[in-house]
Structure 1
Amino acid sequence: MSSASASTRNISRVCVAGGIAASALLLLAGPASAHVSVQPQGEAAKGGYATINFKVPNERDDSATVKVEVNFPADHPLASVMPQPVAGWDIKVTKDKLAKPLKMHGNTITEAVSKVTWTATGGKTGPGIGAGQFQQFPLSVGQLPEDADQLVFKALQTYDNKEVVRWIEEPKEGAEEPESPAPVLKLTAATGDEHGATDKATAETDAKQADADRDTASASTSAASADSSDTTARVLGIIGIVIGVGGVAYGVLAGRRRGNA
């Protein structure tokens, strides 16, 4: 056997082994990347409201996803959670009492949403999310916390064969992604378009209205004072005329009396 043939065979073996290893890596990476995730439509700014989508892919070739449960963080409760209807799915919003009531827009909130559950109802193409498909579940949420950079939602994905996949592991910064990561919503800094800006604009409008009311009141007072002065002048004028007429009449009568005398 020539040295050239041996070298060729060795190179072939290395290439085959490398291909197998690369395929294995792709197979391992595939399922890890296809997990339940959450993304905002636009931005999710601190202290504001946002519309968010939970994206649920089906990872099984022989089963359909028929139920999705999303648990909300208890350390940053959200008082307002409104689901958008999704065709072919029933939606249930679960609320729990708060250990510490929240203040929102001057109101006291004693309960917050703890879980939202979507359950497939079926359809012409079969119930739930089929193989090679995904489904988005939109929610309007708020008021987002001002003292957090992210919100972690733990999710459960149930297949029609009763298998439950728990997406509940919280990712750690600087660490590798866990095998079953929980959906994480990144929060951005307030942009000025949130309720803080609205409150400021409302306060400025109220201040302008108060100034206008004061100007109106001042004008009314001045007008009333002017009217009062005019009325007093008229009364004094009339009294003066009456006194003058009385004086003239008295003088005429006195003159007649002296003439008769």
Structure 2
Amino acid sequence: MPRPTLTHSLRRTGALAAVAFAVAVAAAGPAAAHTEVEAEGARALDQNVALTFTAESESGSAGISKLEVILPEGITPEDITYKEGPKGWKLAPTSRGYTVSGPKLAVGEDAEYVVAVRQLPDAKTLVFKTLQTYGDGRVDRWIELEEGSAGDEHGHGHPAPQLALQAAAPGAKVVSPTPTEEPTTTSPTTGAPSTPPAQAAADETEGDDGTPVAVPLGIGAAVVVALGAGVWWFRSRRGGTS
């Protein structure tokens, strides 16, 4: 009888081991595929740095259609320039980072794209939290930090992409932010409206009542001539009678 008991125990132990292995694989599964960011030899305060992002596909029924990145402190949406990515995809800035999106990729195809950063901040590690959207509406949230939150030492298997930076090069400095171009607008004139030259010339030839200045001048000249003629006529007549 001892042998059947031993055989039963071995079978039971093997079954438990298989279950434990399956549970371990299932628990590790979600973290197997994730998003990554790479920039070989990147240093703090480096300028015009190319960052390569790779988002692995986890869906067996839909392709990736959009990636939203939440930028770390020290990098603004204006600092990002889209370099290359899946065909038809474009970058659009958001209030907290940017999105790259376009026609959904084939099922199982990873999404890879490259952006350039104007200047990296003075930090040791940069975290780029990412939301990965599929064509069927599914969203994978790659936003967890490696250390986990309080009371959660292991997270849920969705680590955020992180980029480790080397120390800044000697003499490296923070560059001034790119000035934002303000749109030029034409504001209405608050003072008296300007008078066209032609109108000004016309005003100079008119009196206060709108009568052309030449009119009174002509009348005055006629009066002077008439008076002169009258005086001449009176003197001539007087001389003729004397």
TM-score range, shorter chain: 0.5 to 0.7
Contact 1:39 1:54 in 2 (8 A): yes
Give the alignment's TM-score, normalised by structure 1.
0.57
- Report the AA paired with residue 129 of structure 2: K
Give the structure 1 partner of residue 218 of structure 2.
none
Give the structure 2 partner of residue 115 of structure 1.
97
Displacement after TM superposition at 1:173 (Å): 7.4
Structure 2 CA distance for aligned equivalents of residues 58 and 176 of structure 1? 22
Contact 2:35 2:55 in 1 (8 A): yes
Give the structure 1 partner of residue 126 of structure 2.
151
Displacement after TM superposition at 1:143 (Å): 0.8
Which aligned pairs between 1:126-205 and structure 2 lie closer than 5 A?
127-131=104-108, 133-146=109-122, 148-172=123-147, 175-191=153-169
- Count of residue pairs the alignment pairs up: 168
Q: Say what the alpha-carbon RMSD is for the aligned residues.
A: 2.4
- In structure 2, the CA distance between the partners of 1:95 and 1:32, relative to structure 1 (3 Å rule), is closer
- Residue-by-residue CA offset, 1:132-163 (whole Å, 9 max, x unaligned): x32221112131112x2111112111111112
Displacement after TM superposition at 1:117 (Å): 1.6
Higher share in helix: 1
Contact 1:149 1:186 in 2 (8 A): yes
Displacement after TM superposition at 1:95 (Å): 6.3
Structure 1 residue runs of 4 or more that deviate by more than 6 Å after TM superposition: none
Q: What is the aligned counterpart of 2:75 among 52, 77, 85?
A: 77
1:90 pairs with 2:89: yes
Larger radius of gyration: 2
- Residue 84 of structure 1 aligns to a residue in which SS? strand
Displacement after TM superposition at 1:7 (Å): 0.5
- Residue 44 of structure 1 aligns to a residue in which SS? coil
Give the alignment's TM-score, normalised by structure 2.
0.61
Give the structure 2 partner of residue 234 of structure 1.
none
The share of aligned pairs that are identical, in percent, is 26
Displacement after TM superposition at 1:71 (Å): 1.8
Structure 2 CA distance for aligned equivalents of residues 129 and 181 of structure 1? 24
Displacement after TM superposition at 1:12 (Å): 1.6
Give the structure 1 partner of residue 5 of structure 2.
6
- Residue 141 of structure 1 aligns to a residue in which SS? strand
Unaligned runs of 5+ in 1: 97-113, 122-126, 197-261
Contact 1:88 1:128 in 2 (8 A): no
- Residue 120 of structure 2 aligns to a residue in which SS? coil
Higher share in strand: 1
